[in-house]
Amino acid sequence: MTTPYEVAVRAEAELGEGPTWDAVTGRLLWIDILGRRLHTYDPATGRRTVRRTEQHIGAVKPRAGGGLVLNLRDGIGLLDPDGGFRWLHHEPVPGRRANDAAVAPDGALWAGTMRYDEAPGGGTLSRVTGDGSVDVVLDDVAVSNGTGWSPDGRLMYHIDSPTRRVTVFDHADGRITGRRTLAEIEEGDGFPDGLTVDAEGCVWVALWKGAAVRRYTPDGELDRVIELPVSLVTACAFGGADLSDLYITTARVGLTEPPALAGSLFVVPGAGKGLAHPPFAG
């Protein structure tokens, strides 16, 4: 099934990623990892802002006390409401950078990393609490990408992109067990990248080099496909006042002749019903 899309923001992001709805401000947050830019977009007014970051940025999420938490190349940083920056956890690792991240139901940030050369086992997925304590949950990933939770919080989904698999774990008290495969992307259909979970418990997966977003049921059945005019589809998230619009980020990095819309932010109005995500408890 193909669903009509619209261009929310025409852009040329090198590696657009991490769309996140900020319910307090009514804005969509998204980033350009390699372009070192933090974008905001207000769909009600069309207003946009762009802030440059000092280093590659893997993800941005709202904070409970105001401001933003950033998954940066050298660790977890905090932007305060007044625009000031400080490190919550600073851990530079040569050859490694931050990648996708998500906030769990308890307010902890699950932050992914990867090596620039994408070496197997070079990345991690860590749980970061509001006081800055860090627990490495997975230490055997190559490209830690989409992370999300079921509506009841009892399941956690995660993607290590080169494996082509969407993995599901049992989740309780900040711990995961019982790793198994929810879905596997067929050869030639791209690589799973970012993901989001909707109110029905279905998992929406962006396909890098796949020009699409797929929705899988909790049983792993493919039941919907959104086709896009660009191949490098990176991540998706529900936004808007009623969380019914699906926002989709894209990229143009490595393309010798990128399509006109590569790197833009797309939206599919009324695509479904998203889950409200808690802010980072820090």
Q: Supply the residues annotated as catalytic.
A: 193
Position 20, amino acid: T
Q: Are 98 and 113 in contact (CB under 8 A)?
A: yes
Check: CB of residue 70 under 8 Å from CB of residue 76: yes
Tell me if 145 is assigned to a ligand binding site.
Answer: yes
Residue 140 marked in a binding site = no
The answer to whether 193 is annotated as binding is yes
How far from 118 is each of 96, 99, 144, 148, 249, CA to CA, in Å? Answer: 9, 11, 10, 22, 21
The structure tokens listed for 181 are 């495969």
242 assigned ligand-binding residue: no
17 labelled ligand-binding: yes
CB atoms closer than 10 angstroms to residue 257: 6
Q: Name the residue among 217, 168, 212, 200 with its Cα closest to residue 273.
A: 200
Instruction: Give the number of residues written for the chain.
Output: 282
Annotated binding site for a divalent metal cation: 17, 145, 193
Binding-site residues, please? 17, 97, 99, 117, 145, 193
Write out the binding residues for substrate.
97, 99, 117
